[in-house]
Structure 1
Amino acid sequence: MLMGSIARRYARALFSLAVEQGRVEPWNDALQVLKNAVEGSPDLRDVLSNPVYSKEQRRAIVEKLASALKLEREPANLLFLLGDRNRLAYLAAVVDTFRSLADQHLGRLRARVTSAVPLDASAAQAIADRLSQATKATVLLDRAVDPALLGGVVAQVGSLVYDGSLRTQLEDLRKTLKQ
């Protein structure tokens, strides 16, 4: 609860700057790269969130990280601010909240599409197009693979779930045959 409200506060502040400067999409992309870099390195995550390291040590790491990722001034300042206030552990939540605000601002929806096998680009685009038609919004896919589906896909857009998996179809058939 507390983490969410703190993350929202930082994300909204940065987002309002992004809107003001017309930099919503570039900053969103940069923040995603930053989040992936931190999540992809357990050592980096440890240094950024562990209070054993001094503020100066963390700030030096943050400066190198911002430089290596070529972050613009404002997203880099967010990173410095989180570091100075011992809130780098909130980074992922801030980035996720910023992404949600950016998607809403740009009229996009995120759909989680799970398939039994990895989708090729054309299949993913076809699914995105169909979901866009159904929702009347631009849909961006977050893809996942779950072999337990046996075949087909399950798409979730917000609270709406489209289940076209073979597993569900077989389960429905089983229920029908039992009656």
Structure 2
Amino acid sequence: MNIPESLVERGNLALERVTDVSAMRVARVYAEALLNAADKVGLTQEVGDELVSIVRDVFGAKPEFELLLSSGAISRTAKEEVLLKVFQGRTSEILLNFLRVLNRHDRLDLIRAVRVAYIDIANARARRIHVQVRTAVPLEEDQRRKLIENVRQVLDLDPILDERVIPELLGGLVLRVGDQLYDGSVRSRLVNLRNQILERSSHEIQSGRDRFSSGS
């Protein structure tokens, strides 16, 4: 299966954790079924985008709408009417039917978890993985390319970089995959890159001091 490159970035899984383990387990079952259905008709990208949009744009703008869908005080019939009114003609038929299935099983509260699981499973199938990269200074393009190559060689997966600059980072480079902070073999293969970043960081700090001392 060919997972489009633009889908894998969606959601940025490091930004959202589903703490209810049992709910996440159920969500993965639903997400895999949705992904299989979308893949059969070549809509993997579109359905993934729609899930992201529901969580980010719809729930983000109207939190009360998410509460309504999750509420046990609202009947399935009423929720069905709301789903059709809001999403019919605005989302793919596959996703609308999926939402109706969730409603029939009283699991509309899982939409956020399904979104996370959908992208997670899509990434796994495409052998892609999110990698948090924390550096003291922004990566240059050549450094980014080397980092991707080194991580790919070590993990045998295609990394999707989540970059963040933390100027006070003393180590120069921190690499995290999932809940694991990688060192050892990974760090040894990245040591040259780390040294380059530290050198650039020191240079920028010294340049700032020189400018301050000169009063410019």
Quote the RMSD (CA, aligned, Å): 3.4
**Deviates further, 79-88 or 152-161:** 152-161
1:84 aligns with 2:84: no
CA 59–12 in structure 1, closer or farther in 2 if over 3 Å, else same: same
Matching residue of 2:83: 62
> Which residue of 48, 52, 57 corresponds with 2:73?
52
Q: Matched residue of 1:71: which SS?
A: coil
Q: Which amino acid aligns with 2:155?
A: T
Q: Which amino acid aligns with 1:82?
A: L
Q: Which amino acid aligns with 2:74?
A: Y
**Deviates further, 22-31 or 143-152:** 143-152
Matching residue of 2:30: 10
Matching residue of 2:157: 137
Deviations 1:22-42 (A, max 9, x none): 332332222222222354132
- CA displacement at 1:11 relative to structure 2: 1.2
Alpha-carbon separation, structure 2, partners of 1:131 and 1:63: 45
- Contact conserved, 1:111 with 1:140, CA < 8 A, in 2? yes
- Contact conserved, 1:28 with 1:102, CA < 8 A, in 2? no
Higher relative contact order (CA 8 A, sep 6+): 2
Q: Which amino acid aligns with 2:81?
A: A
Matching residue of 2:190: none
Structure 1 alignment gaps of length 5 or more: 167-179
Alpha-carbon separation, structure 1, partners of 2:51 and 2:142: 28
Structure 2 alignment gaps of length 5 or more: 1-20, 184-193, 199-216
Alpha-carbon separation, structure 2, partners of 1:61 and 1:143: 39
Q: Which amino acid aligns with 1:72?
A: S
TM-score where L is the length of structure 2: 0.59
CA 150–38 in structure 1, closer or farther in 2 if over 3 Å, else same: farther
Rg larger for: 2
Alpha-carbon separation, structure 1, partners of 2:68 and 2:142: 41
Matching residue of 1:108: 128
Deviations 1:66-92 (A, max 9, x none): 247x32111121112112322111111
> Which residue of 49, 54, 63 corresponds with 1:29?
49
**Deviates further, 101-110 or 50-59:** 50-59
- CA displacement at 1:149 relative to structure 2: 4.0
Q: Which amino acid aligns with 1:93?
A: A
TM-score where L is the length of structure 1: 0.69
